[in-house]
Amino acid sequence: MPRSKPRPGANVDKYMLRTEELRKNQEHVSNLVKQDCITRWSESGGKQILEKKLARDSKAAGEELRHLNTELKTRRRAKLKDFYLEQDVAYEKELNEMGLALVKARV
- List % helix, strand, coil for the chain (3-state, nearest 5): 80, 0, 20
Query: Would you kindly state where each structural domain of the chain is located, as residue ranges?
Result: 10-107
Note the pLDDT of residue 10: 85
Is the pLDDT at 70 greater than 60? The verdict is yes
For the chain, what is the radius of gyration of the CA atoms? 44
Backbone φ and ψ of 9, nearest 5°: 85, 0
**Identity (one letter) of the amino acid at 72?**
L
pLDDT at residue 93, as a whole number: 92
Q: Residue 19 burial (CB < 10 Å; 0-12/13-18/19+)?
A: exposed
Q: Tell me: the pLDDT tens digits for 47-61?
A: 788 888 999 999 999
pLDDT at 1: 55
